[in-house]
Structure 1
Amino acid sequence: MTEGRLLYFAYGSNMSLARLCARVPGALPLGQRRLSGYTLRFHKRGTDGSAKCDAFFTGSENDAVLGMLYAVHLSGKAVLDEIEGLERGYDEKQVELSCSRGTRCAASTYVATAIDPTLLPFDWYLQHVLAGARDAALPADYVRRAIESVAVVSDPDVQRGALEFAVHRR
């Protein structure tokens, strides 16, 4: 942890700088990081009935989730816990990330506890993840394989979908 801040590893919709800063003002992006031994899955059951991202533990050194490391003010931790759904489908976990130049760093992230592999993400949710992948400058092959290849469904709540898409037009 840096002075008065929590290091937070975002790998799903909160990789998006616009989305995270709209929800947790003052979040500072620190760059792309790698979480080894995990794979990105869209199988966390969201409160809206759609799939959300999960860093799913495999233990295989061949697997990795890529994402963005943020420094979040400690005063924003309760908001972060709320938007991440702490104890409502996600648990907080301390992880060790690969950082630049071969160094490692510790950070907090959230992993799914409510899993339903039959669900698909809403189209707007995948757009948040793709925007975050661009913000984090994730490698194109990872984005194609882990994110763009995921099937989506349209949100039956058209108004919610429009509001979610609007975050990236500001």
Structure 2
Amino acid sequence: MYYFAYGSNMSSRRLRQRLGAARAVAVARLPRHRLCWHKQGRDGSGKCDAAPTGDPGHAVLGVLYDVAAVQRALLDRVEGVGAGYEAIEVGLLLDTGSTVAAFTYRATLIDADTLPFHWYKTHVLRGAREHGLPEEYIARLEAVPSRDDPDRERQRRELLIYQPGALG
């Protein structure tokens, strides 16, 4: 089944850490949506959300992954379905001009004043660069303000996956 990742799960290392395996298929575009960082995370920080706008000039870029159906329940749990996100079906545009259906997550617990932790923003940026998202899109991601995580051990654990030899 197809999963559209537009936040921290764009990073293949992050998604593999969570699911064990996932195959990136393509970069995809979710039209008429805007990337926001206002989803209130369980840790008190901001997480990404693909917020619908209806504006044809808006689009969220991300990565289309092929995941096994048995992994869906695990991903729902990790993402917090019923506790901050809901799973939704979306129609995506690929660079080839074709469309594809996928599932993704939309925030249900929103706080417009919250900021992401630096480590979370690192996951998003790593994934965007890994999959070759356009430089202007990456520049917008880089411009998002973020903050230190007061839990230094959590920050260390989150970024360990990018150390040489981590996760293969």
Q: Aligned residue for 1:25? A: 20
1:106-145 equivalences in 2 (<5 Å): 106-145=101-140
CA deviations 1:17-64 (Å, max 9, x no partner) are 001011112211001000000000000000000000000100011000
Distance 2:38 2:72 in 1: 25
| Identity within the alignment, % | 46
SS at match of 1:162: helix
Match for residue 58 of structure 1 among 53, 56, 68: 53
Amino acid at match of 2:65: Y
SS at match of 2:96: helix
Q: Aligned residue for 2:87? A: 92
Structure 1 runs of 4+ aligned residues shifted over 2 Å read none
How far did 1:136 drift? 1.9
Say yes or no: does 1:162 pair with 2:156: yes
How far did 1:84 drift? 1.1
Distance 2:112 2:100 in 1: 31
Distance 2:96 2:147 in 1: 39
How far did 1:141 drift? 0.2
Distance 1:18 1:26 in 2: 9
In structure 1, stretches of 5+ residues that fail to align are: 1-5
How far did 1:75 drift? 1.2
Distance 1:161 1:104 in 2: 37
* Aligned residue-pair number: 164
CA deviations 1:116-141 (Å, max 9, x no partner) are 01000000000000011012210010
Amino acid at match of 1:17: S
Give the TM-score taking structure 1 as reference length: 0.95
How far did 1:83 drift? 1.2
Q: Aligned residue for 2:76? A: 81
In structure 2, stretches of 5+ residues that fail to align are: none
Distance 1:132 1:49 in 2: 22
Q: Aligned residue for 2:5? A: 10
Q: Aligned residue for 1:37? A: 32
